[in-house]
Structure 1
């Protein structure tokens, strides 16, 4: 019985104040909600001995949770797009990607943040604090100029520089991971200066949780 009460409360807490908006966002967050609903539905089915009831309640919970997550990430994406110097995209319904070029963040061959880049990172940190139920992955990338091992190390140090700065601005370090990919994930051709500039970047991937 406790699982049923929990499920009812969870579904109610996920309700949007705008029914039309809820319907739209439920579709965007359906993948996330389905996963959460499946887990709760299985728990209900096991406790009640009625798998059909569990599946039905789980589906309802999943739809409601997915709607809230989709709406929340849509709003966050709009806010991030107002920050100067960043490129914002949506690679998945439960993920936002923010790209910053290394030429803005760092001097050549350096992992020390440039002073002029710190305002952008402060703005990002403020946004991340307003949406605490998400994980943040900071990824460093380089072009193919120089030794592979050197580029790998540089990309890692730059990723950690961004992570550490975000932490100093109030984003819990437990939410942030940092990883360097070196030159292994180019975004454009390294045959041109323009392409190499695009490949020298830091990407921040924000992923929704099921909170």
Structure 2
């Protein structure tokens, strides 16, 4: 893949900054990421690494003192999700949260209808989402590499839509959510084994600050951004 000199610059700058900040928390690192380019850095890193979660979250970053304040709110929310939603893998990334549900929790093989176990987990998740209304939620559907690209794109979209509709039925506003079909293009695990393929059949949630949270954080920080 060809990248512009500006893209290379952003990647090198970000890697140098993060390498120098190993002792920092993820919240502090998120503040630095925000100040080094926000959406531009997020787009570059997402494309270069193949990690769309990282790109989306960095792209939504505010940075500076306001970013630190947002990060603290995300720290609290992430800890609640870890505690109350045992079937979720939770990771704090910059100013956002990445939550992963494996397909075996949510769906049967090659299906988009939610399993009963999935509904229990999502109900637990909904309770926390309602406590933190000032966030945006991207729902990413993923598949393994079996089947055609077109089929996997459609399946991943149906799964993301299925999750979104369930959340809407439980009171989460449609305006907060964005369902995305990722197909087989962003595997986290090896597609060379059945276990790895099963893990790649997943749905991820990316939680970022909405405009209200960003505005409130900027006012609190007195940054004038």
| Common fold by TM > 0.5 | yes
Aligned residue in 2 for 1:53? none
Question: In the alignment, does 2:106 pair up with 1:105?
Answer: yes
Seen in structure 2, the aligned counterparts of structure 1 residues 31 and 131 have a Cα distance that, compared at 3 Å, is farther
- The DSSP-based 3-state class of the residue aligned with 2:104 is helix
- Kindly indicate whether the alpha-carbon contact (under 8 Å) linking 1:137 and 1:178 is maintained by their aligned counterparts in 2: yes
Query: Which consecutive unaligned segments of at least 5 residues does structure 2 have?
Result: 1-24, 37-63, 216-225
Aligned residue in 1 for 2:146? 145
CA displacement, residues 60-102 of structure 1 (integer Å, 9 cap, x when unaligned): xx52x33421211110010011111110012x32110000011
Aligned residues: CA RMSD:
2.2
Rg larger for: 1
> 2:86 aligned to 84, 87, 101, which one?
84
CA displacement, residues 141-163 of structure 1 (integer Å, 9 cap, x when unaligned): 00011222111100000000011
- Kindly indicate whether the alpha-carbon contact (under 8 Å) linking 1:141 and 1:183 is maintained by their aligned counterparts in 2: yes
Seen in structure 2, the aligned counterparts of structure 1 residues 134 and 191 have a Cα distance that, compared at 3 Å, is same
Seen in structure 2, the aligned counterparts of structure 1 residues 179 and 33 have a Cα distance that, compared at 3 Å, is closer
Aligned residue in 1 for 2:178? 177
Aligned residue in 2 for 1:157? 158
- How far residue 28 of structure 1 moved from its aligned partner, in angstroms, is 5.6
Seen in structure 2, the aligned counterparts of structure 1 residues 194 and 167 have a Cα distance that, compared at 3 Å, is same
> In 2, distance between residues paired with 1:25 and 1:200?
27
- How far residue 27 of structure 1 moved from its aligned partner, in angstroms, is 3.8
Aligned residue in 2 for 1:123? 124
Q: TM-score, normalised by structure 1?
A: 0.70
In the comparison of the two structures, how many residue pairs are matched?
161
> In 1, distance between residues paired with 2:103 and 2:168?
19
- How far residue 178 of structure 1 moved from its aligned partner, in angstroms, is 0.1
Seen in structure 2, the aligned counterparts of structure 1 residues 186 and 25 have a Cα distance that, compared at 3 Å, is closer
- How far residue 31 of structure 1 moved from its aligned partner, in angstroms, is 4.7
Query: Which consecutive unaligned segments of at least 5 residues does structure 1 have?
Result: 1-23, 36-61
Aligned residue in 1 for 2:193? 192
Question: In the alignment, does 2:137 pair up with 1:136?
Answer: yes
> In 2, distance between residues paired with 1:184 and 1:127?
30
Q: TM-score, normalised by structure 2?
A: 0.66
- Kindly indicate whether the alpha-carbon contact (under 8 Å) linking 2:189 and 2:199 is maintained by their aligned counterparts in 1: yes
Following TM superposition, the consecutive aligned residue runs of length 4 or more in structure 1 with deviations greater than 4 angstroms are 31-35
